[in-house]
């Protein structure tokens, strides 16, 4: 069991009722952390915060569009003003789109990159500055198996490219910030048992499962566990790396 007593965690995109972000937030709270929950869906962020407070921890809901750099700077400052510091950032906000390259438009590409890559950059930059002042920080990015195997589940090529960009950014970030006590790692989930998975026709679902050696979709709690590990003291000597959580669908 990892301990986050006294730690302050900011998670983006954690307002969804059954998403990875909310599940991760609750695990951090159980481990002793106070949290800031930033989401475009402010009501969702408030609901996540209410659940955190039920666990006896402090929680701050923030209405945030990660595509807005100025709003991201203000969000980080609000966290520091409220809690006095920022220890952990989880870049969970993201969107996907199932579309072929032939049908893809430049507007599609821009929309996916603005959230999945630019959004990650927009919040990471001020968060890193706040962490650098104290000489400590953990940043965990939510990438995807699609970034490593070139799609094949839900997203299109633009999604794979944006998520691959997150991995490259984390490696370069690690070279620049490791000396300041800040790590940046990523998790790359494969097929996870979310609402999207449950809406797939049985024939399509069975075909996807055939390509997963463990024979099932992953659970949200399994992704959350990996995130907590990378954000923990025990992972202090790991940076610029990614953990694949895909049941063997892709192996490096």
The catalytic position among 118, 136, 159, 177 is 159
CA distance 229 to 235: 6
List Cβ neighbours of 234 (8 Å cut-off, separation of 6 or more). Answer: 2
Question: Which secondary-structure segment (H or E) carries 39?
Answer: strand 34-39
Q: Is 159 a known active-site residue?
A: yes
List Cβ neighbours of 60 (8 Å cut-off, separation of 6 or more). Answer: 35, 36, 37, 49, 78, 79, 82, 83
CB of 24 closer than 8 Å to CB of 14: yes
Decide: helix, strand or coil at residue 54. helix
> How distant, in Å, are the alpha carbons of 31, 44, 102, 110, 240 from that of 89?
16, 19, 36, 24, 15
CA distance 29 to 6: 11
Residue spans of beta strands (DSSP E) within 50-104: 59-63, 88-91
Decide: helix, strand or coil at residue 12. strand
CA distance 199 to 95: 17
Show which residues are catalytic. 159
């Amino acid at each position: 069991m990892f301990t986050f007593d006294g730690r302050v965690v900011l998670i983006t995109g954690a307002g969804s009722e059954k998403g990875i972000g909310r599940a991760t937030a609750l695990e951090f709270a159980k481990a002793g952390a106070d949290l800031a929950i930033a989401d475009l869906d402010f009501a969702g962020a408030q609901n996540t915060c209410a659940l955190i407070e039920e666990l006896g921890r402090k929680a701050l809901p923030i209405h945030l569009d990660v595509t807005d750099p100025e709003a991201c700077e203000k969000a980080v400052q609000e966290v520091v003003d409220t809690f006095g510091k920022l220890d952990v950032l989880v870049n969970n906000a993201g969107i996907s789109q199932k579309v072929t390259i032939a049908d893809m438009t430049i507007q599609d590409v821009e929309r996916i990159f603005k959230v999945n890559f630019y959004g990650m950059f927009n919040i990471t930059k001020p968060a890193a500055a706040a962490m650098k002042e104290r000489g400590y920080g953990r940043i965990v990015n939510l990438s995807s198996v699609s970034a490593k195997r070139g799609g094949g589940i839900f997203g299109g090529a633009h999604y794979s490219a944006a998520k691959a960009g997150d991995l490259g950014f984390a490696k370069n970030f690690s070279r620049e910030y490791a000396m300041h006590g800040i790590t940046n790692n990523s998790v790359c989930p494969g097929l996870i048992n979310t609402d999207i998975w449950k809406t797939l026709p049985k024939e399509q679902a069975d075909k996807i499962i055939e390509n997963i050696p463990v024979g099932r979709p992953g659970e949200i709690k399994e992704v959350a566990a990996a995130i907590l590990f990378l954000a923990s003291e025990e992972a202090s000597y790991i940076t610029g790396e990614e953990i694949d959580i895909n049941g063997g669908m892709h192996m490096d």
